[in-house]
Amino acid sequence: MWNKTTLMSYTLAALVGTILSLVAINRELQQNQCIRQCRHTSQPRDDIPEDYIGARWEESDDHDVKMEEYIPVVKPFTGFHKAEADNFRASLIEETRSLDDMFVTQQNIKRGQAVHFAETMMWSLQTETVDIPDFVHSMLPRETGLKPAQFRTCSVVGNGGILTDSRCGRQIDSSDFITRSNFSPVGGQFAGDVGSKTDFITVNPSVFAFYNNLIKEEDQGKFLDDLAKYGKPLMYTHPFRLRNQAMVCLQAISAMKKAGRMDQVRASHPDFLRSVETFWKGRGLKALRSTTGLLLLSVSLSLCEQVTLYGFWPFNSYNDQPVNYHYFDRPIIGTWEFKDKWLERELVQHGPLHNFTEEFLFLNRLHDRGVINLHVGPCS
């Protein structure tokens, strides 16, 4: 049993962490620097970021408060610039060791090795390493088997509401390699907009909460059934990102093993997760943690000659039309149900971990250089 001192330490750590998160959210909401929503001013603006020069100035009336927002312009795609794309890929592969460390294998993790988690929990009282037991090591693939640009065309499908009525499904499905995230729906009523094919799907540990953390067999069965809707993609999850997420990821892997589907499982290597963060921050991104979309882009840029992004649009409107956060209806923050969807979106977009607007502006610059195709709007 825990003693009184330990319980008080955990309680204090949780309280301090909550306060710091609220402070960070408040700072983001107030210091928007004109890349967040801001109130109308009649004064000339001389502080517009360079990325917004020539941008549209859109208005909305959420909550009966007149709000205005700078919307960056995504220029028509003029084609991939092979030299730019090749150089960027080479740098990414070299700095992240993506071809060797994208996921854990018997080559990059030794039997009995103490593995350091990718991130340390704030105010953690736990050891941030885990020993790899023999039975886990024996389940790992021998090597990644990855090659640079082994696919010609790849689609990274985000979950943004910009995909609603986009009719991009056929274009997405025509790609050689398609990545998705977090059990976003495909096929059926969504096929026309987002397609049906999936080759690689990353599943954040928080998604397992929708399956009651896979404790019961019936929840594991539902998880396996939902994964089967994507065919037989590689499932990429993160047992070595944070210690408190390791167990539920191992539950998912165990369920896959019992179902005879271990050939579909890949666990991210903590060194790869850390080096991806370092790579993007070294190119100017300041967010505390990269989004899942940026992680998928890192995977795809390593493996693909030509990468097209769909569903990446963090803004509330497009061409004067409102845009939902997702193209489907599901809680954004864990399993919490918000009646006020505007508040839910604000808490996510202005939270302490990610900066969606900064990330989008960076992707737009890669688009302009011909490194990626950032597709926004309907498909022809």
3-state secondary structure of 266: strand
- Helices within the chain (DSSP H only): 4-30, 82-96, 98-101, 134-139, 169-173, 191-194, 217-228, 243-258, 270-281, 292-303, 341-349, 356-369
pLDDT value of residue 15? 54
Write phi, then psi, for 116 (nearest 5 degrees).
Answer: -85, 130
3-state secondary structure of 267: strand
Helix or strand holding residue 15 (H, E):
helix 4-30
pLDDT value of residue 214? 94
Do the Cβ atoms of 343 and 12 come closer than 8 Å? Answer: no
pTM score: 0.79
> Mean pLDDT: which of 127-141, 166-180, 348-362 is highest?
166-180
Mean pLDDT of the chain: 81
Name the CA radius of gyration of the chain, rounded. 21
The DSSP line for 275-340 is HHHHHHHTTT---SS--HHHHHHHHHHHHEEEEEEES---SSEETTEE--SBSS---SSTTPPPS-
Q: Largest alpha-carbon pair distance within the chain?
A: 67
Q: What is the pLDDT of residues 208-258, one digit of tens each?
A: 988 999 999 999 999 999 999 999 999 999 999 988 889 999 999 999 999
Least confident residue range of 103-107, 250-254, 271-275, 348-352: 348-352
Do the Cβ atoms of 153 and 172 come closer than 8 Å? Answer: no
The confidence band for 201, taking pLDDT boundaries of 50, 70 and 90, is very high
CA terminus-to-terminus distance, the chain: 63
By residue count, the chain amounts to 380
Q: What is the pLDDT of residues 5-53, one digit of tens each?
A: 444 544 555 554 555 455 444 444 443 333 333 333 333 344 444 554 3
Please say whether the dihedral angle defined by the alpha carbons of residues 313, 315, 321 and 324, taken in this order, is positive or negative. Answer: positive
Q: What is the pLDDT of residues 330-353, one digit of tens each?
A: 654 455 454 555 555 555 556 556
Written as six digits, the tokens of 124 are 């953690």
User: Where do the CATH 3.90.1480.20 domains begin and end in the chain?
Assistant: 82-374
Written as six digits, the tokens of 133 are 């037991």
Question: How far does CA 325 lie from the centroid of its chain?
Answer: 14
Written as six digits, the tokens of 45 are 């603006």
Mean pLDDT of 71-89: 94
Written as six digits, the tokens of 208 are 């397992």
**Is residue 206 scored above 70 in pLDDT?**
yes
Do the Cβ atoms of 379 and 320 come closer than 8 Å? Answer: no
Least confident residue range of 320-329, 348-357, 368-377: 348-357
pLDDT value of residue 218? 96
> b/e per residue, 276-294, with b = 16+ CB within 10 A?
bbebbeeeebebebbbbbb
pLDDT value of residue 269? 96
In sequence order, what are the residues at sequence separation of 6 or more whose Cβ sits closer than 8 angstroms to the Cβ of residue 165?
A: 193, 378
Do the Cβ atoms of 206 and 189 come closer than 8 Å? Answer: no
Question: Residue 129 and residue 169: Cα distance in Å, rounded?
Answer: 42
Written as six digits, the tokens of 370 are 């011909």
Mean pLDDT of 284-312: 93
Written as six digits, the tokens of 76 are 């028509």
The confidence band for 362, taking pLDDT boundaries of 50, 70 and 90, is very high
Written as six digits, the tokens of 258 are 């019992």
**Is residue 66 scored above 50 in pLDDT?**
no
Q: Which residue has the higher pLDDT, 303 or 326?
A: 303
How many angstroms separate the Cα of 1 from the Cα of each of 4, 5, 6, 244, 247?
A: 10, 12, 10, 19, 20
pLDDT value of residue 136? 83
Q: Which CATH class is domain 82-374?
A: alpha beta
